Amino acid sequence: MSRGNPYQEIEHGGPGRIGWRIHYFHELDSTQSAARDLVADGAAQGTVVVAERQTAGRGRMGRQWHSPAGVNLYATIILRPAIPLAEVSRLSLVAGVAAAEALSREAPGLVTLKWPNDIWIRGRKAGGIIAEAITGSHDDLVAVLVGIGLNINLAAADIPEELRGRATSLSIELGRLCDRIAIADSLFSFLDYRYMEVVSNGFGGIRPIWELFSALTGRSVGVVEAGRRVSGTVRGIDDDGALLLDTGSQTIRILAGDVTIEGAYES
Ligand code: BTN
C-alpha cells in the first residue's frame, strides 16, 4: 500500500462523507478492483481509492483507460445509496457535475459535459466516469463504485496515438501544471455536496446544473444505441438522466449509448 499518502491531508469528515478516508496506492490494476475489495471488507460510504498509476484502468464499454504514473487523478469513490439498481447510472451524472465544478475552478468557462460520462475541456476529452453497481444475492444494491479519471498534468506527447486530437489535459489547455491534490480536494467536496443534495431531494434538482455544463444541448448528433444509429438534435436530459433527442418527428429518450456530434470527430 502506501509509502506516504499525499491525499491524507485532504481527508475530512467522518464515515459516510465523501473523502473521509482516502486509500492511496502507487500502482493498481484498477482503483475499481481495489474499491470492490474494500466493499467486501465493509468499507463505509465515502471511502476513496486513489492510484498514481493503473496497469488495467477501465473505461466505459470495456475500453482501457490510459493511466500513466504521476500526472493524473485516478479515483474510485464507494457510495452506499438506498436506491433501485436502475438509478445507478444517474450517480455518474452527479459525479460529472462535481468533476466539472472542480475543474472549472481551474479553467472557468472551458469545461463541459458530454452525455453520458465524458468531461471535456475546450471540446476535447479530459476525463471520464464509470459507475459500477455491486449487488447482493437478491439483486439488491450493496454499493456503487464511482470511478473518475481526470487528465490533469498529462503532456501532449504522452497522449496515445489513437487518442490524438480527441483527448487533452488541464495542463495542456492552461499551459501550466496544476495541483492534483487540490483538485482532488475540490472534487470530493463538490461530490459530497451534490451527492447529499440528490440523496435528500432526488436527481431533479441537479439536472439544471448538469444542463449548464452540457456540451450537447442544441447540437445535431448521432447516437448509437444497442447497435442502432439515430440522428437528431439534443434537447437536454430528463429527470432520469436520459438524453432527450429530437429526431424531427418525435423526442426520444436515450438511456445508454455513444454520441457523435455531427461534423466533429468520432468520440
Ligand atoms: C470512460 O470511459 O470515459 C470512463 C473512464 C473512467 C476511468 C476511471 S480512472 C479511475 C477508475 N478506475 C478505473 O479503472 N476506471 C476509473
Concatenated DSSP letters of 142-189: EEEEEEEEE-SS--GGGS-GGGTTTB--HHHHHTS---HHHHHHHHHH
> Taking residues 79-86, what's their average pLDDT?
94
Q: How far is the CA of 150 from the centre of ligand 1 (A)?
A: 9
Task: Report residues whose beta carbon is within 6 angstroms of any ligand 1 atom.
Answer: 30-32, 54, 57-60, 63, 65, 74-76, 117-118, 128-130, 147-149
Other beta carbons within 10 angstroms of residue 4's beta carbon come to: 7
Evaluate whether 231 touches 222 at the Cβ level (below 8 Å).
yes
Strands 251-254 and 228-237: unpaired
Lowest mean pLDDT among 70-74, 75-79, 197-201, 258-262: 258-262
**Which percentage of the chain shows pLDDT scores above 90?**
90
Lowest mean pLDDT among 102-106, 128-132, 256-260: 256-260
Q: How far is the CA of 66 from the centre of ligand 1 (A)?
A: 9
pLDDT surpassing 80 at residue 67:
yes
Q: What is the pLDDT of residue 263?
A: 64
CATH level 3 topology of 6-213: BirA Bifunctional Protein; domain 2 (3.30.930)
CATH 2.30.30.100 boundaries in the chain: 220-261
Q: What is the pLDDT of residue 226?
A: 78
pLDDT surpassing 60 at residue 90:
yes
Taking the mean position of all CA atoms in its chain, how far away is CA 220?
24
> Taking residues 157-161, what's their average pLDDT?
94
Q: Is 220-261 in CATH node 2.30.30.100? A: yes
pLDDT surpassing 70 at residue 267:
no
In this prediction, residue 183 has a pLDDT band, given cuts at 50, 70 and 90, of very high
DSSP 250: -
pLDDT tens, residue by residue, 11-53: 999 999 999 999 999 999 999 999 999 999 999 999 999 999 9
Terminal Cα distance for the chain, rounded = 35
Q: Which three cell numbers stand for residue 84?
A: 433501485
Alpha-carbon gap, residue 186 to 31, rounded angstroms:
19
In this prediction, residue 264 has a pLDDT band, given cuts at 50, 70 and 90, of low
Radius of gyration of the chain (CA): 18
pLDDT surpassing 90 at residue 258:
no
> Taking residues 58-66, what's their average pLDDT?
93
Q: Where are the alpha helices (DSSP H) in the chain?
A: 31-40, 88-106, 170-174, 180-201, 207-213
Q: Which atom of ligand 1 is nearest to the CA of 125?
A: 3
> Taking residues 46-61, what's their average pLDDT?
96
> Taking residues 187-195, what's their average pLDDT?
98
Alpha-carbon gap, residue 5 to 46, rounded angstroms:
17
Evaluate whether 49 touches 31 at the Cβ level (below 8 Å).
yes
> Taking residues 58-80, what's their average pLDDT?
96
Q: Taking all residues of the chain, what is their mean pLDDT, rounded to a whole number? A: 94
Evaluate whether 121 touches 108 at the Cβ level (below 8 Å).
no
Q: Which three cell numbers stand for residue 208?
A: 439544471
Among protein residues, the one with the nearest Cα to ligand 1's atom 9 is 149
Distances (CA, A) of 157 to 58, 143, 173, 263: 22, 38, 14, 26
pLDDT surpassing 90 at residue 256:
no
Q: Which atom of ligand 1 is nearest to the CA of 31?
A: 12
3-state secondary structure at position 21: strand
pLDDT surpassing 70 at residue 266:
no
Tell which one of 58, 60, 258 to mutate to probe ligand 1, the residue whose CB is within 8 A of the most ligand atoms.
Answer: 58
